[in-house]
């Protein structure tokens, strides 16, 4: 059984609480973090990247193919990192401190031909 860990992003202070230490759900609930709109509670995926860095929700990760993704909990799993072995990923930032990493990737992914749909463009280009 894996240890369930969290981190908390403070929107007012623009930093993580207790950086470097793990926060338990009990301490978060007792500190009323769960219902506070100024904070974002992010769960650890239980996975590590190729460099041994723990992967959390809202981390920005990159694959060997240089595709960039944001880690999200959806449909009972952490997408996209739950689908592939953790060693295939590299944490390159998070959405709070490194949103600029996503801008370049989005511009790269937008198709220049209106006839292409985004899905086909992202998964192999033109028909």
- Residues 6-47: pLDDT tens digits? 888 888 888 887 655 555 555 555 555 555 678 888 899 988
Bigger pLDDT: 1 vs 117:
1
CA pair distance 62, 65, nearest whole angstrom? 8
Are residues 49 and 55 in contact, defined by beta-carbon separation less than 8 angstroms? Answer: yes
CA pair distance 95, 101, nearest whole angstrom? 9
Token look-up 């981390």 returns 59
Across the chain, mean pLDDT equals 74
- Which tokens belong to 88? 């295939």
- Residues 68-102, buried b or exposed e (16+ Cβ, 10 A)? bbbbeeeeeebebbbeeebebbbbebbbbeeeebe
Q: What percent of the chain has pLDDT over 90?
A: 17
**Is this model's pTM higher than 0.75 or not?**
no
Are residues 23 and 17 in contact, defined by beta-carbon separation less than 8 angstroms? Answer: yes
Span 98-124, average pLDDT: 56
Beta strands in 1-127 (DSSP E): 6-10, 15-16, 39-48, 54-56, 59-63, 68-70, 72-74, 77-79, 89-94
Span 98-121, average pLDDT: 56
Question: Residue 6, Cβ neighbours under 10 Å: how many?
Answer: 19
Q: What is the pLDDT of residues 53-72, one digit of tens each?
A: 999 999 999 987 778 889 99
């Amino acid at each position: 059984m894996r240890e369930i860990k969290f981190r908390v992003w403070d929107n007012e202070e623009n930093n993580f609480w207790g950086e470097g230490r793990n926060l338990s759900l009990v301490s978060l609930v007792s500190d009323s973090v769960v219902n506070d709109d100024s904070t974002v509670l992010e769960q650890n995926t239980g996975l590590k990247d190729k460099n041994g860095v723990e992967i959390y929700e809202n981390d920005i990760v990159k694959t060997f193919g240089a595709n960039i993704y944001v880690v999200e909990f959806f449909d009972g799993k952490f997408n996209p990192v739950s689908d592939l072995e953790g060693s295939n990923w590299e944490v390159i930032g998070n959405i709070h401190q490194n949103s600029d990493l996503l801008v370049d990737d989005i511009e790269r992914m937008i198709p220049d031909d209106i006839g292409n749909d985004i899905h086909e463009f992202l998964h192999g280009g033109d028909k």
